[in-house]
Amino acid sequence: MEYDVAIKTCVCQESFITDDGICTCAAGKTLVNGKCKECEDGRFKADNSTDSCNVCDTDVIHGALETINGTDKTSAASCACGKGKFQDPRNPQPGTPQGKCEDCMNLNLPEGVKCDDTIGLTLATLPLKDGYWRSSSQSDKIVKCEIDTSCVHASPDDSCTIGHTGPICSVCTEGYNKNAVDICKPCSSAGVSIGFYALLTVLTLTTLYFVLRKIFGKEKLTIANVSNEIQKATADDKHWSKRLKTKAKILTSFYQIISKLPSTLSPTS
């Protein structure tokens, strides 16, 4: 004979969960006054049980009294250093394998970092203020940049403005060169450079033509006449060409200055 047996399932009280037929507290919660409540800040619990929550300060990160906002406090990953501090994972101690919380004010240049309003900062994510630099995301040595605009940070791993690299962002990356105020700007395109120097060459040749026209007056300007004038200049120390030597040097210097104008006058911001 067959019988229908009604199987009743245990219904847990509010705040509890059922785990393998037993009413208990979920991970991230512990039993407090007969109810399951979320672990306090600075604590976590990874398993379903009524056990107490683990303490971040003694089990994970020395000095960690906070948990990261938005986490469910179910793992050690939710442990965090509070505002004004950052997690330094170097030299971990027994019991706190993920290092300890360091005060930002103990850095060599605390004015160069931004850590007053954020919970959960680490050495790797420590944000620098513009105008400051460090060699890598694993270094706690902060350096003031000689030129503030060369150290503008897009991310904690990128300490330099685009176009800058190297120690204190003082070197230009490929395709960039420094202008008059040591800001790395994109190199001029080949077309612009060729056009600029071609214009200077035309102006120089035009000027030379009119100078020679003035010298020879109504005489026909020929290669032979120019050659004769060169021979005279070589033999005569008082020839007019000697007086042009200083002027030629001035013009050469002027030419060099003019050739730098495109990069010198480029915007620096």
pLDDT of residue 87: 96
Please list, in sequence order, all residues whose beta carbon lies within 8 angstroms of the beta carbon of residue 188, skipping any fewer than 6 positions away.
Answer: 196, 262, 263
**HEC-encoded secondary structure of 169-225:** HCEECCCEEECCCCCEEECCCHHHHHHHHHHHHHHHHHHHHHHHHHHHCCCCCCHHH
First to last CA, the chain: 92
- Can you point out the beta strands (E) in the chain? 17-19, 22-24, 29-32, 35-38, 43-44, 54-55, 66-67, 79-80, 85-88, 100-103, 132-133, 143-144, 164-165, 171-172, 176-178, 184-186
| Cα dihedral: 180, 184, 189, 194 (round 10) | 30
CA pair distance 118, 136, nearest whole angstrom = 21
Q: Alpha-carbon torsion 20, 21, 26, 31, what sign? A: negative
pLDDT of residue 267: 42
Q: Does the pTM exceed 0.75? A: no
| Phi and psi at residue 192, to the nearest 5° | -65, -45
CA pair distance 171, 62, nearest whole angstrom = 39
Mean pLDDT by 10 residues, the chain (269 residues): 53 93 96 96 96 96 91 93 95 91 96 93 94 93 93 79 92 89 80 66 78 64 65 62 63 63 45
pLDDT of residue 233: 60
- CB–CB of 100/57 below 8 Å? no
pLDDT of residue 190: 52
Please list, in sequence order, all residues whose beta carbon lies within 8 angstroms of the beta carbon of residue 268, skipping any fewer than 6 positions away.
Answer: 149, 179, 181, 183, 185
Helix (H, G, I), strand (E, B) or coil at 228: helix
- CB–CB of 159/128 below 8 Å? yes
